[in-house]
Structure 1
Amino acid sequence: MAHELDSTNNVVSFANSRPDAWHRLGQSVNHTMTAREALEAAHLAGWNVRKMPLQVALEPVVTADGVSTPAPLSVPDHYATVRDNPIVPGRIDVLGVVGSKYEPLQNEASCDLLNALTDQGGAVFETAGALRGGRETFVTMKLPEAMTFDGVDGSKDRTEFYLAALNSHDGTSAFRFLVTPVRIVCANTQSAAIREAKASFAIRHTGGARLAIAEAREALRLTWRYVKAFEDEAAALYARPMDIDQMRAFTDELLAVDAATTAATKNTRSQQSRAIVKLWTSSPTVAPIANTRWAAYNAVTEYVDHYSTVRGRGDAATTRALRAVTIGSTAQTIKTQAFRMLQTL
């Protein structure tokens, strides 16, 4: 499917408590969810992800005595990861090929750990789903903390914080958790690198993964520092004014316009730079924080999340939503670089 959500017989593995623009991945169920409700609504419960020995079938052998089929050959140290299909009883789906040290982590572990990590009232599950035939899953929880600035026009500029759990069942990536600030007025996902404040943690799918989950619980408790640190550094950007010439110089440097090696590349980067500046000067979502470095940062995030070019096949809005929570993506890198530059310029 274009949106890459897992689907069996037109039943999509996705649940969303509300239609958030930052995570355009399916239909809303219109209510906040508990861990169990999120798993069941998104058809993530009871997959029983497990390893099965990988084998090579051999061709039948014809002899004078008849036809016989040799026993399949085992592939040493290689296994298929499989799940029980959540829609069709008795059907088993192959998810990937892994090594002997790989240890599956069930979808229930995502919700269990998020529950344990929050360890406080007020946090609610907002989205959950599976992608790419069940090979990847995601669960997000909105935290009770929020950051609010008084806008120059009397309005409120609000940023909320989410905790996301991202897993793979095909051996392609670690079991990851991250804190994602989301500026609600334009649904921008923030991606700031905060000094000495951990915002993500990865757990490898190995024999020690269960121990690593216990360690992650302690490590991710420290991410609450990220929320406070992010608010402090965002407030510092909001307190620093910026004029149009500074904004143009910032976006040109951010996108390395002058470093372009061809005229076509320079023209493309210049257009992107001008688009960000235009958002900074005229976007109604930036207006409450106008003429500040915080506005500059949010013009960048708004451009990346909602207007930047999407390459490849599939739905553009969904692709942008996916890369918003993909560690190491170009979108994340640009946001992080913008935040750092605005602190030091």
Structure 2
Amino acid sequence: MAHQLNFNSRTGKYSFFSVKEKAWHNLGQIVEDYPKSEEAIQFAGLDYEVAKSPLFTKGSGIIENDDSIEMMNSELEVPNYFANIRTDNNTVLGVVGRDYQIVQNREAFSFFDSIVGGGNGILYETAGALGNGERIFITAKLPDYIRVGNGDDITEKYIFLTTSHEGSGSITAAFTPIRIVCQNTLNASLRNMSNVIRIRHTAGAKQRLDDAHKIMGLANNLSKELETIFNHWAKIKVKDDQIKKLIQLALCPNKETLDHLLKGNSDELSTMFKNSVNDAFMYAMISDTQQMETTKGTLFGVYNAVIGYYQNVKNYKNDEAKLQSIVLGGTAQLKSQKAFDLCERFAHQGAEPIFMN
């Protein structure tokens, strides 16, 4: 599995750091204590800036003299387009338009600091750069927890941010609760709230980044509501056949598969789908993290089984594909939200309205 971490030739280190846990593919720096933002930038090798530079191309022409013909090369500026250049090593990271506004790495960290006020309570856990440094990512732990059951089942509250310097995509910040016992990223959001913010790299992007912490205040409200919901689900008992049906519905890839499920046409289901369901069901039944009072045979356990399948069981072609799927709005995040909605319906309506229509 490719790691795609940036190797900083200036420092001779990979651009990644992690607190206490083994670093990505055993690369990067492991630090014992949570660093402040200034230290985290250094540990992660993100202490470089990016500048927009005029973009040029070569032109050619013919000059005819009285007795000869000469070829002439000229340098032409490309209007309205610029190269984003990493200033510490002059690497071109991408081509951008004139309205593109760079958000420097240090400004991304200042976003985190502003969420809880001057960095008080924010804990930087990982950060790094991919490729030539064109994409960076940061995860930071927020104060307090989501507690389920008697308090032994604890979910930490994280904010994840990624941004790029190559001209594609947006600045993305996401609230991602992580259940400690199995490191499941519970990308749950309620119907009237979002756990993701996307900010375009256009004029005013830095100002919106400064203001984003106000929106991320929703994370605190979201975590409070999730705690109430998860505790309610942990008290609802679910039979084994109901667990499997809920998993089938959550992982269902299309309407055709859904029709077969509702009609009981199991022979018409694809082998890939059935294997995915079986893997998720086995995780629900035998994983150590599914044997807790809060998860064994409960609705909360069903939800965690779907999350756990994508986080801990499913194979991805590389780390970037897993990141995209779990955090950046890919399949795992969509299925997580589907599982959340199904569990909410089950909690309020029971099994029959879900399984029969």
For this structure pair, what is the TM-score category when the shorter chain's length is used for normalisation?
0.7 to 0.9
Rounded to whole Å, the distance in 1 between the matches of 2:22 and 2:147 is 19
Structure 1: stretches of 5+ with no match in the other structure:
86-90
1:75 aligns with 2:74: no
Q: CA deviation at 1:68?
A: 7.3
Q: Which has the higher contact order (CA 8 A, sep 6+)?
A: 1
Rounded to whole Å, the distance in 1 between the matches of 2:207 and 2:130 is 27
Q: 1:124 is matched with which residue?
A: 123
Judged with a 3 Å threshold, the aligned counterparts in structure 2 of structure 1 residues 264 and 305 are, in CA distance, closer, same or farther, namely farther
Judged with a 3 Å threshold, the aligned counterparts in structure 2 of structure 1 residues 200 and 78 are, in CA distance, closer, same or farther, namely same
- State which drifts further: 211-220 or 256-265: 256-265
User: For residues 21-77 of structure 1, what are the alpha-carbon distances to aligned partners after superposition, in whole Å with 9 as ceiling and x for unaligned?
Assistant: 9x77844223211101110011101x2211111111234867768977543112121
Q: 2:6 is matched with which residue?
A: 6
Q: CA deviation at 1:4?
A: 1.2
TM-score using structure 1 length: 0.87
Q: Which amino acid aligns with 2:218?
A: L
1:97 aligns with 2:95: yes
Q: CA deviation at 1:309?
A: 2.8
1:293 aligns with 2:299: yes
Q: Which amino acid aligns with 1:111?
A: F
Q: CA deviation at 1:338?
A: 0.7
Q: 2:355 is matched with which residue?
A: none
1:271 aligns with 2:275: yes
Q: 1:32 is matched with which residue?
A: 34
- State which drifts further: 63-72 or 26-35: 63-72
Q: 1:259 is matched with which residue?
A: 256
Q: 1:88 is matched with which residue?
A: none
**2:199 counterpart (198, 203, 215):** 203
CA RMSD of aligned residues (A): 2.7
Kept in 2, the 8 Å contact 1:81–1:169? The answer is yes
**1:84 counterpart (83, 87, 104):** 87
Rounded to whole Å, the distance in 1 between the matches of 2:62 and 2:209 is 49
Q: 2:183 is matched with which residue?
A: 187
- State which drifts further: 192-201 or 294-303: 192-201
Judged with a 3 Å threshold, the aligned counterparts in structure 2 of structure 1 residues 115 and 24 are, in CA distance, closer, same or farther, namely farther
- State which drifts further: 54-63 or 7-16: 54-63
SS in 2 for 1:54: strand
Q: 1:332 is matched with which residue?
A: 333
Kept in 2, the 8 Å contact 1:193–1:340? The answer is no
Kept in 2, the 8 Å contact 1:17–1:31? The answer is yes
Q: Which amino acid aligns with 1:303?
A: Y
Kept in 2, the 8 Å contact 1:147–1:160? The answer is yes
Q: CA deviation at 1:265?
A: 6.2
Judged with a 3 Å threshold, the aligned counterparts in structure 2 of structure 1 residues 147 and 26 are, in CA distance, closer, same or farther, namely farther
Rounded to whole Å, the distance in 2 between the matches of 1:146 and 1:320 is 25
Rounded to whole Å, the distance in 2 between the matches of 1:67 and 1:190 is 67
Rounded to whole Å, the distance in 1 between the matches of 2:194 and 2:145 is 18
1:43 aligns with 2:72: no
Identity across the alignment (%): 27
Kept in 1, the 8 Å contact 2:146–2:224? The answer is no
SS in 2 for 1:133: coil
Q: 1:52 is matched with which residue?
A: 53
Structure 2: stretches of 5+ with no match in the other structure:
261-265, 347-357
Rounded to whole Å, the distance in 1 between the matches of 2:61 and 2:7 is 36
Rounded to whole Å, the distance in 2 between the matches of 1:13 and 1:265 is 44
Q: CA deviation at 1:232?
A: 1.6
